[in-house]
Structure 1
């Protein structure tokens, strides 16, 4: 398989496609969506272009595939961003025209269920960008998190190395997007405790692969977009995060165990584990309950790694998942994990 290459970057003033490859929540929760569009225009000087299924709840997989094709095929569109995630993007993958997309490489931004399309793009030879959806990160009440905004700007417009840093403060508690009062105050944050390193005695440089752990489990079950030639992942950097559905520690362990049984887990030289999302509307944990959930998840990850890849360098609590702030990770792009210096750098 060819090494993924970085697509050309947009410039201020360019048109950016806004699509909904998973859920059309933008159609029923317009407040964060419209705010995100406004920020694309005013703060990033990009002109968002919507497609027929962007605000359509219940759109068919074919309608969403058509939007993806239209966005990539249009030469005036210089980048593509997802409105939000969802849970059935896997049904869109078989409908995609790989040659059309490969012939029109563009930066694609999305996360969560968009792990599907990011993995697809990587296999098409295109580096994608895990992070920064319109409704979540761009539509954050009052202002974007500065940490998120800086990372997105660098990923959108620059092509060099970008050094990650731990968030000094973070949040994972959401408020009702249907309530206008939600957008009158910034989310409350709490102090961060930095990254936690395991086997930090080496420097690892490699291409990234990963995303939302639950979505990767589905891709493995459907046998889609996972290379059968596992040497493709040798020496790479695995990055993982879990969603607001908050999978249990046993479920996290079993997914990683099964990746190990497939021979996949041990191919990577480093693992960046995203800060765990510990609160949801269905499970509104107290800070103490959330800390216990996060600790149990960490132990589940360590248990699987000890069994299948005990020498792998691991960094916990990287801000790359369903928490705020969120750093953009190049999917298929270069990452350097410097254990002795306790530094992580990505190449956008």
Structure 2
């Protein structure tokens, strides 16, 4: 595979596209969205540009693809940021013009359902950035988490190595975005215990690939944007994370088992597993239940690795995906996982 393109970075004062490639939730929940837009302008010095489907629920896949094309094709737009995730971005992919996007590479930021677009860009030869949505990270109540803000700023504006740091504290419980009182103070946090390392202690440096585990399972089932030549993933760093739907440990194992049966898991030399989301409005759970859920998920991942990829070095509770603070990880870019030194460095 040819070397992926790192698109030019924006500069303060530039226009950046804010898209909703999945769900038009900004139209239903404007408070975190408006806060995120304000921070883009005031804290990062960027000028957000909205599109017809950015705030519109129920937009068709073709309409959302049209906005993606417009954002990438506009020479006056220097980056593309997702408002939030969703659950049907897979239906947008067939409407995308790969040559148009390849001819106009730009940094793309998002996660969750935006895994679909990350996979698409990976296959198009463009490095993107896992994390940094407008409504969640930029629209965080009270203030942006310092680790998130520093990581996002570095990913947006700089190039070169950036060492990830484990969060001292992290948020577990969500609050109602429709309630203005939610945004009057920062969320409560729990103490962090650092990253958990498993497997051979070695140094791995490779291109990253992966994303939200459920979305990856959908792409695998549809046989969409998964390389037929599995050697393309050789020596890479696998990124995985789960979400507020709280998939059971058994479901996590079954998805990884299917990836193993396809011969995919064994291709990677390292796995970065995002801190498990353990709380949702439907399943709040107490501290003991949340701890049990996270432990069961970790054991399910280790069970799959033991069968299909016993030589993979795995790091758990990495601050990526559905967690707060959230670290931005390049998707398709270089990630260095240093087992002996217990360090993770990405290249923005």
1:130-179 Cα distance to aligned partner (Å, 9 max, x none):
00100000000010000000000000000110001110000121100000
Q: Is the 8 A contact 1:200 1:342 kept in 2?
A: no
The answer to whether the 8 A contact 1:273-1:315 is kept is: yes
Measure, in 2, the Cα distance between the counterparts of 1:19 and 1:2: 29
Match of 1:259 in 2: 259
Distance 1:26 1:216 in 2: 25
- 2:318 matched to which residue of 1? 318
Deviation at residue 200 of structure 1 after TM alignment: 4.2
Residue number in structure 2 paired with 1:158: 158
In 1, Cα distance between equivalents of 2:145 and 2:317: 17
User: Residue in 2 aligned with 1:72?
Assistant: 72
**CA deviation after TM superposition for structure 1 residue 323, in Å:** 1.1
Partner SS state of residue 314, structure 2: strand
Aligned counterpart, 2:104: 104
Kept in 2, the 8 Å contact 1:205–1:336? The answer is: yes
CA contact 2:172–2:190 (8 Å) conserved in 1:
no
Structure 2: gaps of 5 or more residues: none
The equivalent of 1:82 in structure 2 is 82
- Contact 1:200-1:338 at 8 Å conserved across structures: no
- SS of residue in 2 equivalent to 1:251: helix
Name the structure 2 match of 1:95: 95
| Cα distance between partner residues in 2 of 1:169 and 1:92 | 36
Give, in whole Å, the separation in 1 of the partners of 2:211 and 2:250. 19
- Tell me the equivalent position of 1:41: 41
Distance 1:37 1:275 in 2: 26
SS in 1 for 2:272: strand
Gapped regions of structure 1 (runs ≥ 5)? none
* Contact map agreement 2:19 2:81 (CA 8 A) in 1: yes
User: Structure 1 segments of 4 or more deviating over 6 A?
Assistant: none
Q: Distance in 1 between the 2:251 and 2:343 partners?
A: 30
CA RMSD of aligned residues (A): 0.6
Q: Is the 8 A contact 2:16 2:48 kept in 1?
A: yes
Structure 1 residue 215 and structure 2 residue 208: aligned?
Answer: no
Query: Structure 1 residue 2: deviation in Å?
Result: 2.2
Deviation at 1:201, TM superposition (A): 1.5
Match of 1:196 in 2: 196
Paired position in structure 1 for 2:10: 10
Matches within 5 A, 1:327-346: 327-346=327-346
Q: Deviations over 1:195-244 (max 9, x none)?
A: 11112421000000000000000000000000000000000000100011
TM-score relative to the length of structure 1: 0.99
Given that residues 335 and 344 in structure 2 are in contact (C-alpha distance below 8 angstroms), is that contact kept between their aligned partners in structure 1? yes
Q: Counterparts of 1:240-279 in structure 2 under 5 Å?
A: 240-279=240-279
Count of matched residue positions in the alignment of Structure 1 and Structure 2: 348
CA offsets 1:107-137 (integer angstroms, 9 cap, x no match): 0000000000011001100000000100000
Counterpart-to-counterpart distance in 2, 1:174 and 1:9 = 32
